[in-house]
Amino acid sequence: MKTPLIAVIPVILCGGSGSRLWPVSRRLYPKPFMRLDDGESLLEKTARRAHAACAGAPMLLAVSAAEHRFLVEEELAKILPTGPDLKILLEPSARNTAPAVLLAALAVRDACGADAQLLVLPADHVIDDQAAFNAAVTAASALAARGQLVTFGVVPTRAGTGYGYIERGDPLDCGFSVRRFVEKPDLATAQAYLASGRFLWNAGMFCFSAASVLKAAATHCGEVLAACERVWQARDDGGKTVEFSADLFATIPEISIDYALMERASERAVVPATFDWNDIGSWQQVAEQTAPDAAGNRLRGDALAVDSSDSFVHAQSRTVALVGVSGLSVIETADAVLVVHRDRAQQVKQVVERLRAAGNPKVDVHQTVRRPWGSYTVLEDAADCKVKRLTVKPGGVLSLQYHHRRSEHWTVVSGTAKVRIGDDERLIAAGESVYIPQGSLHRLENPGERDIHLIEVQCGEYFGEDDIVRLEDRYGRAGSNS
């Protein structure tokens, strides 16, 4: 079997809210950006794996919510400093995976030609066996070169009820035809699937040429493709990023690539994947990434267990101690704690739904909020003041802005900040402070080579982010509050 001499373009899907992984995963910081024990995010792991499997690819394509643009850029910059071009398709709203894949196919067709292939990968999988993954991609690419829509089926290791299944059909040179896709089964059915040897877990990963997937879409989900083509024609292509009209984007039917296309197409194949695979969809699956102690406890962060067993602790900001418990997952962040029995990890989504219905902001943001220039952490949020700790990256620049309803006082903790207030511009060193009166035009930047840290104290009658009036912004956010 020879690898086709065509481009295979990694396409990483960074969408999804990850509500089952609350409180670490939130709307503005979802699970692709979660970090595992080795310090790498799920997105970073996916991109490294894809980059290694598609050596020589001229570009790497990511599809992301528009509000996560700078998070995606920051993560991918770690592994693509001098590699292939990066292009990010920014979705103004969530429309499921079919529109994401078809827009990516249009992007690949226009940039690399209709014969170029897409290797579509969700950003929330953990796969450690790079060699086996590379072999599966090579096999899938060979089938895709013959016009097949290829999916990857993971060889089951147990009668899992949390996955969809693929029944393989007739053998092909480096895979099998697909007989059918089946939904998540009950236990008895899953046991029968495992015993038959004909069924594979549906991993949600695909490989096909841009021409093949667009041709199949025209036949089987023409309405979705037509809407995507209208959105694509009206795009705003900024080079690294592609933005879409929110109004036009909302006209695209919301449907998964499985339902829209893979379950309907005729030319479809599956490659059995022998690599290790973990779809990080619950805290139980996150726990499996941490080695257990002698009692079966898996502890991350400042955590300890006394007379406890088979439990998982994820501690971010405080000491978490277990005493005399079993089978629990305890997830601690700076502003929220989740305690759930490990057998009911899928029900965490119900917590998020209740918090959202109550208007609780903790479904959206963390105590630490990422910005393209760095981050800020809320230290106190009282009726008469708000205190933040800001970290500004080298070269980072806050927008030129003013506030209607508050004043601010900045104290530099480390580094040297360049501050503009009105028409006056000065350098503020560590230990020095500056006062910004209400209504004054101001900006702060980091001209140095190290992060700068400062404490911001806000005083006034209102401290919401919507009291930021931006006049200029290096990151294209003038007029927004993000």
Give the total residue count for the chain: 482
Q: Region of 39 please: left (phi>0), alpha (psi -120 to 50) or beta.
A: left
Q: Would you state the pLDDT for residue 25?
A: 94
Q: Is 194 exposed, middle or buried (0-12, 13-18, 19+ CB in 10 A)?
A: middle
Backbone torsions φ then ψ of 266, nearest 5 degrees? -95, -40
- CATH number of 8-279, picked from 3.40.50.1170, 3.90.550.10, 3.40.30.10, 3.40.50.720: 3.90.550.10
* C-alpha dist (Å) from residue 85 to 65, 77, 183, 252, 430: 19, 10, 37, 28, 39
pLDDT at 238: 86
What pLDDT score does 224 carry?
A: 97
45 burial type by CB count under 10 A (0-12 exposed, 13-18 middle, 19+ buried): buried
How many angstroms separate the CA atoms of 455 and 445, rounded?
A: 14
**Structural contact between residues 348 and 363, judged by C-beta atoms closer than 8 angstroms:** no
Residue indicated by tokens 């029968």: 192
Which residues of the chain fall below pLDDT 50?
1-4
- Which tokens sit at 226? 């037509």
Instruction: Report the topology of domain 368-472.
Output: Jelly Rolls (2.60.120)
The whole-number pLDDT of residue 4 equals: 44
Closest CA to 375 of 103, 107, 74: 74
Dihedral (C-alpha) 241, 225, 144, 3: value to the nearest 10 degrees? Answer: -20
User: Rounded distance, CA 204 to CA 124, Å?
Assistant: 11
Instruction: Sketch the domain layout of the chain as residue ranges.
Output: 8-279, 284-353, 368-472
CA distance 442 to 105: 43
The per-residue pLDDT for 3 is 42
What pLDDT sits at residue 480? 58
**Prior bond to 23 cis, omega within 30?**
yes
Candidates 169, 207, 202; CA nearest to 4 is 207
| pLDDT at residue 388 in the model | 96
Residues 206/102, Cβ–Cβ less than 8 Å: no
3-state secondary structure of 337: strand
8 Å CB contact between 249 and 279? no
* 425 strand-pairing partners: 420
